[in-house]
Structure 1
Amino acid sequence: MPVQFDQHRLATFVSWVISPVVVAPAAYLAVILLGLRADPERFSYLTILFSASTFAPMALIYGLKKTGRVSDYNISFREQRFLPLLVLVVVNAIGYEFMQQMHAPRLLSGILLFNAVNTVLILLVTLQWKISIHLFTYTSSVALLFLQFGPGALWALPAVPLLMWSRMVLKAHNFMQTLVGALIGFAVMYVELRWWTGL
């Protein structure tokens, strides 16, 4: 008897593996451990970035799910995204201040500064439309790696169609919401960090 392909299960797996709380920390890990190996403060920087990009969002979403403020961990409903996005703006702004106090490399402080700025952008879009945060985060992370390591980082872009497919199969987004998230995520982060760092 042939094994039936379960595209919903595969799409769910892809969405979790290439989720914002996985992708962003992986990019930060590469930037700091590979790009800043000689910096004695690199683990302090990593702690701040992980706190803002992983620990705080996971704790926030878990708490909101437990209290019934959001229906699922991916916050599928546009109307439920305002509060968590607002909190993430504050968390990233605080992280930026910590980086400034530590005199961290401008690339690192820029990550948190523009995470806050871009979350405001997503928040404003969310008032009227539902952009894909999965795609926005993934391609902005690729833009960060591209700035740090050069064209070799672009090998990660072929995963974009796969992630778009997974979000559409799960009915979390339509085609335009994933495409716009992908395009804006890369373009905005690339332009912002290039301007901020002078690269």
Structure 2
Amino acid sequence: MQLDTRRFASLVSWIISPVVVAPAVYLLIVLYRYSATSSHLDWFLVLFLSATIVPMFLIYGLKKIGRVSDYNITFREQRFLPLLVLVGVNLVGYELMKQLDAPRFLSAILLFNAVNTVFILLVTLQWKISIHLFSLTSSIALLVLSFGLPALVLLCFVPLLMWSRIYLKAHNFMQTLVGSIIGFLLMYGEFKWWLAL
């Protein structure tokens, strides 16, 4: 029974992970808001590469050479280098989106991903925040901005993911709670400011 519970917690942790949730949300936004534009798949490709492909290969490579102990980068001290690289990846993606004349909303996703990764990186110097929860709620914030308040129903996945990360001993309650709250508020606030410019 305990083994089955652990497997379920691991499954939840992998399915509701940054490399799955973020690109799914980006695809939904691109298809819903920009599918009439011929370049919409190019824009999604840049988002997908930045949010999923590059991070996966980066973590795989770091695991292969022994710079991180596991794919979730459980130990806080091992997070600095991959987070720093991901800041650069998102900034390059942002510049590429501008070259592709992407809508400001889409290019801002990568800009604020970079900004928020810097925030996480700075927090990581002293504390361990849940990137899983941060990514989930910041993605939900994007959906609220795109589809309105009904998207808030997706916050029902937050307690499930919190339980998963705590059960797997990847985080404690406060690390998941703070990641959840800050992830949503940062992304929502940044976009409200950006779209008002």
**How far apart, CA to CA, are the structure 2 residues paired with 1:52 and 1:193?**
19
Partner in structure 1 of residue 19 of structure 2: 21
**How far apart, CA to CA, are the structure 2 residues paired with 1:91 and 1:183?**
25
Deviation at 1:121, TM superposition (A): 0.3
Deviation at 1:151, TM superposition (A): 1.2
For the aligned residue pairs, the C-alpha RMSD in angstroms reads: 1.0
Q: Are 1:158 and 2:150 counterparts? A: no
Residues matched between the structures, number: 196
**How far apart, CA to CA, are the structure 1 residues paired with 2:43 and 2:196?**
20
Partner in structure 1 of residue 31 of structure 2: 33
Q: Are 1:59 and 2:57 counterparts? A: yes
Structure 1 segments (4+ residues) deviating >4 Å? none
Q: Are 1:146 and 2:144 counterparts? A: yes
TM-score where L is the length of structure 1? 0.96
Partner in structure 2 of residue 98 of structure 1: 96
Q: Could you tell me which of 156, 177, 180 is aligned with 1:179?
A: 177
Residue type of the partner of 1:98? L
Partner in structure 2 of residue 11 of structure 1: 9
**How far apart, CA to CA, are the structure 2 residues paired with 1:105 and 1:151?**
22
Partner in structure 1 of residue 122 of structure 2: 124
The one-character-per-residue Cα deviations of 1:88-114 (angstroms, maximum 9, x if unpaired) are 000000000011112211111110000
Deviation at 1:198, TM superposition (A): 2.3
Deviation at 1:75, TM superposition (A): 0.3
Unpaired runs of at least 5, structure 2: none
**How far apart, CA to CA, are the structure 2 residues paired with 1:104 and 1:76?**
35
Partner in structure 2 of residue 85 of structure 1: 83
Deviation at 1:152, TM superposition (A): 1.8
Q: Could you tell me which of 105, 108, 114 is aligned with 1:110?
A: 108
**How far apart, CA to CA, are the structure 2 residues paired with 1:111 and 1:95?**
10
The one-character-per-residue Cα deviations of 1:11-58 (angstroms, maximum 9, x if unpaired) are 101000000000000000000011212111100000100010001000
The one-character-per-residue Cα deviations of 1:157-196 (angstroms, maximum 9, x if unpaired) are 0000000000000000000000000000000000101111
TM-score where L is the length of structure 2? 0.97
**How far apart, CA to CA, are the structure 1 residues paired with 2:150 and 2:29?**
13
**How far apart, CA to CA, are the structure 1 residues paired with 2:5 and 2:120?**
29
**How far apart, CA to CA, are the structure 2 residues paired with 1:39 and 1:143?**
24
Residue type of the partner of 2:34? L
